[in-house]
Chain A
């Protein structure tokens, strides 16, 4: 029977606790959950029939719900939706082959949770502000003005140059916000990943990994940051299982 894997975790100290938890939970489409272990590493799985797996969002949400419940009591490595293997035997072999990588990754995320911070802006307004600021500084065009040819090509270059400078300004601004944020995060001892300009209005898409006890300190820090940047819209979510902080290439 094929198995779908929800999470990898370590239960060396209390396998009974995991079993008790699994009895009270259901997997996708009401299936029973069970633990498959190799030494100290355990995979939480349920039976699945690949051809019957209805691929819809409610299944994905159920799947994530199982991971969430496990993560509330254990340090877990969440699997991506749809991780299916042929049999219990193949899972045990997989756990054995990747044993050290799992151990290392579990250590890295032990007692930590992931938080997401998305920062949105009204990009047109922000660009206008940045442009206004920069124009007080830029004097170069005037100096060269007499030599500049007046052609459609030169006009085109000027237009592109303006866009380019604006983009650079925006990036510099985004970088400065990131520096501010990392200042606070360093104090919380957080690991972080930033993605700049995810979309035109989502200027920063960040994820942090930090001790779960520091959740309130993080909320406070974000509140302070929001007050410093009234033009931006901060959205903090979490705590999540460490989806963005598992880097394993399973063999």
Chain B
């Protein structure tokens, strides 16, 4: 398999191999649960789901704000709540020593969670 299958490209290939490498190698984003890491493994699983839902809520909230149907008070309260959620999430991530990449579990055929 030494054949070159690139049929067309005029740009730089350096950045590409890096990017494609990232797409191919999902090792870091895999959930591994075992007796030794049950704590952090579970934290990773739970926080991934929480983060997914938090981001969905945030996205939906921004859609509503953008749509212009919310009052200033509602926006203010939404902002306060979501901002506090975000800060809390940062705290939890730090506490369990997880970064954003850790919270994107690769589900194989289902694709990435986020």
Summarize B's interface: helix, strand, loop or mixed: helix
Give the contact stretch, choosing among A25-33, A100-108, A177-185, A194-202: A194-202
A235 touches B79 (CB 8 A): no
Task: Say whether, besides A148-B72, A156-B82, A164-B59, A201 and B15 are in contact (CB < 8 Å).
Answer: yes
The reply on A226 being an interface residue by CB < 8 A is yes
Give the contact stretch, choosing among B17-25, B43-51, B91-99: B17-25
Count A-side interface residues using an 8 Å CB cutoff. 42
The 0/1 profile, CB within 8 Å of A marked 1, for residues 1-27 of chain B is: 100011111111101100110110000
Task: Say whether, besides A156-B79, A157-B65, A164-B63, A236 and B72 are in contact (CB < 8 Å).
Answer: no
The reply on A118 being an interface residue by CB < 8 A is yes
Task: Say whether, besides A120-B19, A165-B66, A236-B6, A151 and B76 are in contact (CB < 8 Å).
Answer: yes
Count B-side interface residues using an 8 Å CB cutoff. 32
Interface residues of A in 138-164 (CB under 8 A from B): 140, 147-149, 151-154, 156-157, 160-161, 163-164
The reply on A223 being an interface residue by CB < 8 A is yes
Summarize A's interface: helix, strand, loop or mixed: helix
Q: Which of the residues A64, A157, A240 comes within 8 Å of B75, measured between beta carbons?
A: A157
The CA of A219 and the CA of B6, in the complex, are separated in Å by 10
User: Inside 8 A of A115's CB, which chain B residues have their CB?
Assistant: 7
A-B contact pairs, 13 of them (CB 8 A): A120-B16, A148-B72, A151-B79, A153-B76, A164-B62, A164-B66, A198-B23, A223-B8, A226-B8, A233-B16, A235-B11, A236-B6, A238-B5
Further pairs besides A153-B76, A236-B8: 19, Cβ < 8 Å: A65-B1, A68-B1, A118-B19, A140-B68, A149-B76, A154-B75, A154-B76, A157-B65, A157-B78, A202-B23, A205-B23, A218-B7, A226-B8, A233-B9, A233-B10, A235-B6, A235-B8, A236-B7, A237-B6
A contacts, CB < 8 Å to B: 61-62, 64-65, 68, 115, 118, 120, 140, 147-149, 151-154, 156-157, 160-161, 163-165, 198-199, 201-202, 205, 215, 218-219, 222-223, 226, 233-240
